[in-house]
Chains A and B, each alone.
Chain A
Amino acid sequence: MENAISLSVSELPGLRPAALKGYDRVYIGSEFCQNKLPSAAAFLRLEKLFKGPVTLATPLLTDGGLDQALALIKKLAAAKRKKPLEVVVNDWGLLRLLKKNKLVRPVLGRLLMWEIGEMDKPFLNAFCREYRVAGVETDSAEVLAKLKGVSGPVHFHYPFGFKSVTRYCSYIRDFNSSACALECGPLFVRLSSKAIPEPIYMQGNAYFIPNKPLRNPLIKRLIKASV
Chain B
Amino acid sequence: MPATKKNPAAKKHKMRVLVGVRTLNEAEFFLTRGADEVYCGLPEIPNHGVTAENFSSEKELRATIDLAKKLGKQVFIVANDVFPAGVFPKAAAKVAELVRYGASGVIIRDMALLEYFKKRKLRTYFTLSTLGLCFNREALKFFKERGVARIVLPQHLAPAEAAPMFDKALGMDIEVFCLPLFYEVNINSLCSLSCPCSQEAVTDPRLQKAYTCLSALKRSDDGGFYTMPMPNSETLLNYFYDYYHLGAKCMKVARGPNGEEVIELFYKSLLLTRLLEKGVSRAAFVHEGKKIVSSSQNYGKRYIVKRF
Contact = CB atoms under 8 A, between A and B. Distances in A.
Interface residues of B, number: 55
B94 interface: no
Q: Name A's interface SS.
A: mixed
Contacts of A124: 112
Contacts of A173: 229
Interface in B124-174: 133-143, 156-158, 161-162, 164-165
A65 B164 CA distance: 12
A216 interface: no
Contact of B115 (A121, A123, A177): A123
Nearest to A142: B192
B85 interface: yes
Interface string B55-82: 0000000000000000000000000011
B154 to A, nearest CB: 8
Interface string A149-168: 00000000000001111111
Interface string B186-229: 11011111100000000000000111110111111100001011
A119 B82 contact: yes
Contact of A196 (B112, B189, B217): B217
Contacts of A189: 219-221, 226
A161 to B, nearest CB: 9
B230 interface: yes
Contact of A165 (B165, B190, B230): B190
A111 B133 contact: yes
B229 A169 contact: yes
B299 interface: no
A118 B220 contact: no
Given A175-B157, A175-B158, A193-B216, A166 B142 contact: no
Contacts of B156: 166-168, 175
A101 interface: no
Contacts of B285: none
Contacts of B191: 163-165
A192 B193 CA distance: 13
B231 interface: yes
Interface in B8-43: none
Given A62-B157, A169-B229, A190-B219, A164 B138 contact: no
B50 interface: no
Nearest to A190: B220
B228 A170 contact: yes
A193 B216 CA distance: 7
Contacts of A174: 158
Contacts of B161: 62-64, 175, 177
Most chain B Cβ neighbours within 10 Å, of A60, A118, A120, A202: A120
B226 A170 contact: yes
A119 B217 CA distance: 35
Contacts of B216: 193
Most chain B Cβ neighbours within 10 Å, of A169, A196, A197: A196
B221 A168 contact: no
B210 A195 contact: yes
A167 B221 contact: no
A114 B198 CA distance: 15
B226 A191 contact: yes
Contact of A193 (B158, B165, B215): B215
Most chain A Cβ neighbours within 10 Å, of B194, B217, B231: B217
Contact of A166 (B135, B186, B189, B212): B186
Given A92-B138, A114-B189, 16 more contacts: A60-B133, A93-B139, A111-B190, A114-B82, A115-B82, A118-B81, A120-B85, A121-B85, A123-B115, A165-B186, A174-B158, A189-B220, A189-B226, A192-B218, A193-B217, A202-B226
